[in-house]
Amino acid sequence: MIKQGINGPIFALIAYDSKSFDIPTVASVKTQTTRDLFIYFILKREITDGGWALGEKRLRPDPDITAMAIQGRLTI
């Protein structure tokens, strides 16, 4: 999920929390996907003024990505 950028963790978090789904455990992966990993990834990408952007190097927040990040965080 994280390899695709911020969209993947945001949408995964929204989907998993929509019905309190469990994230499957996969023994063959190096890093197990967890809800906390999604949250950490999203929070780590927050821009200093409090918004989020699609790309890592963008300094101005994007309203669409910010709204999605907030929606994903509402269930924390």
pLDDT at 38 over 60: yes
Measured CA to CA, the distance from residue 45 to residue 69 in angstroms comes to 10
pLDDT at 76 over 60: no
* Mean pLDDT computed over 35-51: 90
Confidence (pTM)? 0.82
| 62 vs 55, higher pLDDT | 62
What local confidence, expressed as pLDDT, does residue 59 receive?
Answer: 79
* Phi and psi torsions of 55, nearest 5°: -95, 155
What mean pLDDT do residues 30-58 have?
88
Q: Crossing angle of helices 63-73/35-44, nearest 10°? A: 140
